[in-house]
Chain A
Amino acid sequence: MSEMSRIVRTMTAIMFPFAMIYGLYVIAHGHLTPGGGFQGGAVVASACAMLLVAYGSKWVEEKIKEKNLSLLESVGAIGFIAIAFFGLFFGVAFFHNFLVGSDLLFGMVPAVGSTGANINTGGVLPLMNFAVGLKVIAGLFAIVLVMAYATTSFKEGKS
Chain B
Amino acid sequence: MDLVEIIHIILPILIVASAVVSIYLKDLLAAVIALAAMSLLLSLEFYILQAPDVAIAEAGVGACLTTAIFVIAIRATKRKEDA
Contacts and interface: CB of A to CB of B under 8 A. Distances in A.
Q: Do chains A and B touch in the complex (CB under 8 A)?
A: yes
A34 B69 contact: no
Interface string A34-76: 1110111011011001101100000000000000000000000
Interface string B28-67: 0000000000000000000000001100110111001100
B72 A35 contact: no
A140 B56 contact: no
A42 B59 CA distance: 9
Contacts of A147: 69, 72-73
A1 B76 contact: yes
Interface of A: 1, 23, 26, 34-36, 38-40, 42-43, 45-46, 49-50, 52-53, 140, 143-144, 147-148, 151-152, 154-155
B68 interface: yes
B57 A42 contact: yes
Nearest to A148: B72
A23 B57 CA distance: 11
Contacts, number: 60
B60 to A, nearest CB: 3
B47 to A, nearest CB: 10
Given A39-B56, A46-B65, 15 more contacts: A34-B52, A34-B53, A35-B53, A38-B57, A39-B53, A39-B57, A42-B60, A43-B59, A45-B65, A49-B64, A53-B68, A143-B69, A144-B72, A151-B73, A152-B76
30 contacts: A1-B72, A23-B60, A35-B52, A35-B53, A35-B56, A38-B57, A39-B56, A39-B57, A39-B60, A42-B56, A42-B60, A43-B56, A43-B59, A43-B60, A46-B60, A46-B61, A46-B65, A49-B64, A49-B65, A50-B64, A50-B68, A53-B68, A53-B72, A140-B61, A140-B65, A143-B69, A144-B68, A144-B69, A148-B72, A151-B73
